[in-house]
Structure 1
Amino acid sequence: MKSLMQIRKMFPKPGFIILIFVACLVQTETSAQVTIAPSKINLEPDSPQKPDKGILKKIVKPIKFRANRDATETERIYKFLNDRLNKQLNIDTATVNQIMVEFKALVAQDASTKESIKSIIKTHDLDKIANQSVLNDLVKQMGASFDSLRTQMSAVIQEESNNNSQEKRDLISKNSDILKDVREVQYSTASNLAGTNSYVKKDTIYFFKRSLNQKIKVIAWQSPEMNDEFKNYNYNYLSSINLYGYDLSTKGENRKANDILKFQEKGGIIELAQSKGCDVHLTVYNQNGADIKKFLGDNLAQKELLIKLDTLISKSKLKGINIYFNDVSEPDVFVQFIKALRENLRMMSSAIELNITIPAITNNDVSLKSISGYNFHELNSLVDYYFVMTDKITDSESGIAQSSSPLLNSDKYGKSSIESAIGFYANGKIPVSKLIMTVSYTGTLWQVDNFEGNPPNSTIEQELTYDDIIKDYLNKTVNKSSVFQGFDPDQMASYINIMGPNPADKEQIWYEDFRSLYQKYDWALGNGLGGVCIKGIGEDDGYSELWDAIGATLIRIDTIHVDKKHVVVKPALTLSHYVNLFIEDFQWAMESKLNYKDPKTENSICECGYSPSYLKTYRNSPTLWTDYQEYDMDNVNTLDNSLLCYYLWVRWEIYSIFSKWCCIICFILLLLTWGFSSHLARYKLSNDTTLNIMLVSRGVFIFTLFFAFGFYLIFAPQTTILEGANHGAKYFLIIGIIFLTGVIGAWIVAHKLYKNRYARKNMP
């Protein structure tokens, strides 16, 4: 991020404006008798400082190589300014020197543009004082140098932007194989939707399922403000949905009962999540310390809550309760409440989880005081997991624009980080396997004075959803502003710097993207955390990259064996059986789209696409060459089940592999016979009968080569050159053309070779 901080120097300093203003005053008030000693000006370019890294270094480097040329250009501009300002505007030499010194500083810092010069001229009425042609010439001469620097700056920014995008693409590419396998398996174990596969060992078929499981807990925090975004969630990646929830009153009742009713609607999130095998939890929350204290001191209120929860758990089949009290002041009373709740949940089902949400520790005494009400020694045996609120760690009043959820500690941003918060609790308070890290898809827009993260005037302007950030900032130019995207490796967060046409307009957005979430999930996994909790899920509706971050880090593929084993009696197959099977497979290849009947519903069909894993899985199946379905040319054909479809693909691929090797072998034999016969004929080592046999053999090889190549193009699942293998075409016609081509080609070659052999030759 440091490289971008130099961009703030593109804007003019107030000093330049003041000097021009002074110059104007001097022009009208200074007497010719008054002598001001001129200042000396060093026309040699200053030695630029060498920053450790960043954009400025890249800008200075090419400038340094052109030092002599720049010195000449600076001297020329100085002489021009001295001539125009001193002689035509009657400004004294000392003032000209002061202006030039400021000009040199501005050039060195890339801090002006033509528009800035025009603005200064208009602001101080120089266009009324001086001749317009003089001012236009001044703008032109100065603007040429500024334009050069702006071009340089734009090139460097573009380079940084490309590098930033390339790093992101490299990370996605690195995980593409993992994501490809995850997407192919698709269904979670809990969903019970994974298909059954099989493999053969000796004479026994073993059936198994490949499905997805979470390496650690992956919990989605669902707010009632969300609309229908939940319909697009990938529930196969999620352990549970945490509903927010039950707004606890001092009497134990829910102050927002409509929120629960919305979740319970027909086709709502509870029904959909459970149909996908995803558990549903409910958060009971209150953020008012006085209300919490009153509730914990009222046994009747607690009993009322337990009764309400019993009803909700039974009706909605909830698998977990999360307690989120923002201010707990009496540890013993809170422990007694948790004990009562734990016992009540166990009576309903031992599988129901009890979780507690706790604050993240930051660099202030308030956060330390906020956890004084938790007796972790007592709570650990009662609580399954602790949700640590690491999604909003940073202090918005600090005046430093930064990520809301930085991962690592840093000298610049302090110790308020996920690393620090988790480390605090894991240090003898809570087992690290019970800690859940919280992240958020919501970004923050900061109004800043600079892009260096320096206080004191950076303030949060508003919160933005991930969808808003993509649509309003990354996919277009914002109100003629310059937008630059970067990534902070300490905070593990992405940011966007927005530079408006007005130098004072600077904004900065901090948010999570694929890279930042990938790094944070990987950190949670590597440090043995119990899981991650995601707030604002659904704010990325329409985009997949944040789901991909989950899939690439937190999802594994499990193989589960099904308790079904059948001893196989291999049937004796005749040649005619294989010929008939080939003919049926050939006819099925004429179908433009291969479908099979859905086993769940009678009237639905499923598309059977190709996967390279089919050959590995079914190649050795003992029923591969026996199970098939006859093709009916007069009707729309649909296979009876998915296994027949998979078998077709495997047999097609075996045909294509056999054809390919036939092509290779025939081509090699063709070359060998041609070379060998040429050698025999040249040195007269053989009789005509042998040469004729080899001549006919070459014709056979050419014919077989064309024929086998045609079959390869038709059956190979990876190619669509001839629209073969489930792509739909009139293959009999194609095969006929290939057959005739091979025959004609073989005949032409044989005839030509024969003719050349017996052609009359001129004798000496």
Structure 2
Amino acid sequence: MYSLIRTVAGFFFILILFLFLKNDVHANNVYSSPYDTGSIIKTINLPAFQKDTTGKVKLLQKIIAALKFTKNARAREQQRVITIIRTVMADSMVATAADIKKLNAELSLQQNQHFDSLRALINNIIASQAKDTILPPDVEPVVPPAPVPETDVASLISKILPILQQKEKEERNSAAQQKQLQAVRALYGRPPGKIDTLRLSDTLGTTYTITLGHKADVIGIHPYWMTDKYLQYNFTALSAISFYGYTTEKDIKAKDIPPAPLNMFNLATSAGKNRMFTYYENDPTHIEELLKDEDAQFRCIDSLLPLLQQYQAEGINIWFSQLSAKRRDAFSRFVTLLANYFQHNSQQKYDIAITIPSYDEQSAYDLRTLDPLTDHFLIDFTKASGARAGGLAPMKGDARRAIEPVMSRFLNLQIAPSKFILLLSYYGTQWKKSLTGGKDVFTRYVPFSEIRNKYPADSAVIYDEDAVAAYVEEKDANGEITSEIWFDDENTLDVKYDYVLNNGLGGVAIWPLGADDGYGELWDELGYKFISIDTTFTDTIRLVPPVIATESWWTRMVKKVSHEIRTLTLLFTDPCELEAEKDRDDSFFGYVTLLFFIIALLIGFFYAYNVRMVGMEWPWRKVVLRILIAWILITTFFGIVTLFLNRDVPFGITHADSANAKSKCVTIPMLDLLLIFSIGLLLGMLIMRILIRPLLSKNDKP
């Protein structure tokens, strides 16, 4: 139904364009393919350029509108796109053959074959043409521009359509990403071990548990200068977090000593993530002193194990930024000593990772020797190099720093792909451009948050499709490009994450966490690509409710009496144990007390009636009186039991307002209480008999 409505609307749109355009459209036959133009070059004759342009729309503005109208166009709608753009071209007053040729030439460049790049190119041409269309009042109309060859129009359309299809694919991926993230977020805070049931049929079901896992390792590196930015991290997207760092450099200043990572590790622990330390050395001189002195290595290793144990970390990442070739064997021996020390001096197994440069120019790392000693190699793509502006981690290009040739070289060492982790940066690089065609100069690293703040997502970001990198151009007042900022965003990282997953690599490491503070798109991309929803089926169960066996009244009565006898037993031995029975019903002894009280009233009325009618000579008077006294004592006993068991009584043993009933419970057994009561009663009787009764005269004695 939707397709029918869309087709009808498009038909009427084209019909209106042809019926109401004031200029004549001189167009040739529309071919079924943009490339089927025949041997004769056909042209679209544009109308004369008029001085009054207030009621007209420029060519490229109309192209933008057409692109918006057809941005979700599919291959079968190609003919409609061609017709719309041709109509727009025929009505344009600004379009020239030079414009179309320029646009074709720019779209032929691979870095411009992106929707945002196309939009930027069109906007630039519009801006340049706007200057030329403003004519003084006394200037005569210019000569009409030369006709635009239809081959150029067809070529332009053939370049635009793939860009539209790419934009459509990006929109589909964005919708899939939001759907995946919505499913993941729905599991946040889910109690561990929660069991759900899936219905298989009317009578059978299966129980299962759902947990969040990872398709590959995701290691986030938090440097100490990011301070408390870890409070904004999405720990669910990470499989491990590494604190940068620890160093033995002697000249490090006191103010630079990293703070204790305890709070960050506590958050990681509550999220079930591994904790690591990054042991870094940036000073080549200090690295040299460490590796040439075996005693220094032992002192260093002795300081690492207590550090891991203190913070309950599971591993360490060794990151020596400048390792020389002459210390190749010494570094391998250092890692060997570290692995053996961890193995023999701790019952826990600690992971060891080594960060190595993407291009080991001096062959300082013996990977085949280090392979059995380590768990992962982090391939460092965070250092700027080269003489031309570019991204830190291009997919193709320079064999020393592009991901594909670098990883091809590492994988040829016959080391398992799962051991290699790409260390990618959330920093961009700023390059000063040479105006004379010389070398570009790297100036600084730029955090992603600064780039996004200065250049929002709707600004003219250009994409290099070959390097899979984004960049923005900074220009001076004359429009000359003075510098470029190259960086990775969610679109470029999407391709690189796919490369990791498709090639079975160990995962990615992010340097540094916190560089995107304030923006969530990189976290969303990380979670979308690597978080997996793992479902574990545990058992098959019957969905028919269990048959509850009916019990006879005698069985229920026996169970009830047995329960209340146990309650009385606990009252006489350890009343506080009654608090363990949270669902206990205390009404039974209340009803018993009420029944005994009614019987006591009846016995009392019976006794009083006979004494009044017969007098003191009633022969059953003493017997009934003794029964009445005994009954009153029994009623009192059950009344006390009811009060003790009632949670609404403030002085009850199991009072409901107790924050900790077990610790505040009165620990006087009922047997002790009755014993105290009986002793008090006997003492009262003795005092009455020995001290008070002799003082009474015969007439006062009862």
Q: TM-score, normalised by structure 1?
A: 0.49
1:512 aligns with 2:491: no
Residue of structure 1 in register with 2:390 after alignment? 402
Deviations 1:21-56 (A, max 9, x none): xxxxxxxxxxxxxxxxxxxxxxxxxxxxxxxxxxxx
On the 8 A contact 1:498/1:507 being kept in 2, the answer is yes
Distance in 2, Cα, partners of 1:263 & 1:406 = 35
Query: How many residues get paired?
Result: 430
Pick from 350, 353, 356 the counterpart of residue 352 of structure 1: 350
Larger radius of gyration, structure 1 or 2? 2
1:485 aligns with 2:461: yes
Distance in 2, Cα, partners of 1:166 & 1:447 = 35
1:445 aligns with 2:445: no
1:419 aligns with 2:416: no
State the secondary structure of the residue aligned to 1:381.
helix
In the TM superposition, what is the alpha-carbon distance from 1:181 to its structure 2 partner? Answer: 2.4
Residue of structure 2 in register with 1:340 after alignment? 337
Distance in 2, Cα, partners of 1:517 & 1:332 = 36
In the TM superposition, what is the alpha-carbon distance from 1:204 to its structure 2 partner? Answer: 7.7
- Change over 3 Å in CA distance of 1:530–1:445 after alignment to 2: same
Residue of structure 1 in register with 2:447 after alignment? 465
- Change over 3 Å in CA distance of 1:208–1:111 after alignment to 2: closer
State the Cα RMSD in Å.
4.6
Residue of structure 2 in register with 1:150 after alignment? none
**Percentage identity across aligned positions?**
25
- Change over 3 Å in CA distance of 1:187–1:327 after alignment to 2: farther
1:196 aligns with 2:214: no
Distance in 1, Cα, partners of 2:304 & 2:235 = 25
On the 8 A contact 1:161/1:484 being kept in 2, the answer is no
On the 8 A contact 2:358/2:400 being kept in 1, the answer is no
Superposed counterparts of 1:94-173, under 5 Å: 137=136, 168-173=170-175
Residue of structure 1 in register with 2:521 after alignment? 545
Distance in 1, Cα, partners of 2:49 & 2:347 = 80
Deviations 1:424-458 (A, max 9, x none): 111125332211111111122334368xxx94253
Residue of structure 2 in register with 1:392 after alignment? 383
- Change over 3 Å in CA distance of 1:438–1:111 after alignment to 2: same
Distance in 1, Cα, partners of 2:144 & 2:346 = 78
Distance in 2, Cα, partners of 1:464 & 1:142 = 50
Superposed counterparts of 1:554-573, under 5 Å: 554-561=530-537, 569-571=545-547
Residue of structure 2 in register with 1:217 after alignment? 217
On the 8 A contact 1:467/1:541 being kept in 2, the answer is yes
- Change over 3 Å in CA distance of 1:569–1:374 after alignment to 2: same
Distance in 2, Cα, partners of 1:437 & 1:289 = 24
Letter in 1 for 2:187: V
Distance in 2, Cα, partners of 1:139 & 1:260 = 74
Deviations 1:141-194 (A, max 9, x none): 899999xxxxxxxx99x9999988765433212433333322223369xxx746
Letter in 1 for 2:361: L
Distance in 2, Cα, partners of 1:293 & 1:359 = 18
- Change over 3 Å in CA distance of 1:457–1:374 after alignment to 2: closer
Deviations 1:332-386 (A, max 9, x none): 221211111001222324431011110012xxxxx421xx222222211101101
1:208 aligns with 2:184: no
Distance in 1, Cα, partners of 2:408 & 2:179 = 33
On the 8 A contact 2:332/2:366 being kept in 1, the answer is yes
Pick from 368, 391, 397 the counterpart of residue 377 of structure 1: 368
- Change over 3 Å in CA distance of 1:475–1:530 after alignment to 2: closer
Residue of structure 2 in register with 1:184 after alignment? 186
Distance in 1, Cα, partners of 2:375 & 2:99 = 61
1:436 aligns with 2:392: no
Deviations 1:401-436 (A, max 9, x none): 221210123xxx666301111111111253322111
Residue of structure 2 in register with 1:330 after alignment? 327
On the 8 A contact 2:204/2:540 being kept in 1, the answer is no
On the 8 A contact 2:470/2:489 being kept in 1, the answer is yes
- Change over 3 Å in CA distance of 1:407–1:161 after alignment to 2: same
On the 8 A contact 1:197/1:209 being kept in 2, the answer is yes
Structure 1: stretches of 5+ with no match in the other structure: 1-62, 74-103, 118-134, 147-154, 362-366, 477-482, 574-764
Letter in 1 for 2:181: L
Distance in 2, Cα, partners of 1:143 & 1:443 = 48
In the TM superposition, what is the alpha-carbon distance from 1:500 to its structure 2 partner? Answer: 4.9
Distance in 1, Cα, partners of 2:141 & 2:481 = 24
On the 8 A contact 1:446/1:509 being kept in 2, the answer is yes
Residue of structure 2 in register with 1:536 after alignment? 512
Letter in 2 for 1:327: L
In the TM superposition, what is the alpha-carbon distance from 1:283 to its structure 2 partner? Answer: 1.2
On the 8 A contact 1:433/1:528 being kept in 2, the answer is yes
On the 8 A contact 1:213/1:237 being kept in 2, the answer is no
State the secondary structure of the residue aligned to 1:220.
strand
Letter in 2 for 1:448: K
Letter in 2 for 1:176: Q
Deviations 1:255-285 (A, max 9, x none): 46776752435xx312211221111111111
In the TM superposition, what is the alpha-carbon distance from 1:541 to its structure 2 partner? Answer: 2.7
Deviations 1:214-262 (A, max 9, x none): 1111000111111332112111121111111112327xxx946776752
Residue of structure 2 in register with 1:743 after alignment? none
Letter in 2 for 1:523: Y
Deviations 1:701-728 (A, max 9, x none): xxxxxxxxxxxxxxxxxxxxxxxxxxxx
Letter in 2 for 1:245: G
In the TM superposition, what is the alpha-carbon distance from 1:520 to its structure 2 partner? Answer: 0.5
Distance in 2, Cα, partners of 1:310 & 1:245 = 14
Residue of structure 1 in register with 2:281 after alignment? 286
State the secondary structure of the residue aligned to 1:198.
strand
On the 8 A contact 1:439/1:534 being kept in 2, the answer is yes
On the 8 A contact 1:335/1:375 being kept in 2, the answer is yes
Letter in 2 for 1:334: F
In the TM superposition, what is the alpha-carbon distance from 1:488 to its structure 2 partner? Answer: 2.2
In the TM superposition, what is the alpha-carbon distance from 1:212 to its structure 2 partner? Answer: 1.0
On the 8 A contact 1:219/1:533 being kept in 2, the answer is yes
State the secondary structure of the residue aligned to 1:273.
helix
- Change over 3 Å in CA distance of 1:162–1:221 after alignment to 2: farther
Distance in 2, Cα, partners of 1:115 & 1:427 = 56
- Change over 3 Å in CA distance of 1:415–1:338 after alignment to 2: closer
1:521 aligns with 2:497: yes
On the 8 A contact 2:195/2:208 being kept in 1, the answer is yes
1:308 aligns with 2:293: no
Structure 2: stretches of 5+ with no match in the other structure: 1-41, 53-96, 103-124, 146-155, 550-702
On the 8 A contact 1:247/1:256 being kept in 2, the answer is no
Distance in 2, Cα, partners of 1:161 & 1:464 = 30
Deviations 1:108-164 (A, max 9, x none): 9779969999xxxxxxxxxxxxxxxxx994997899999xxxxxxxx99x9999988
Letter in 1 for 2:403: I
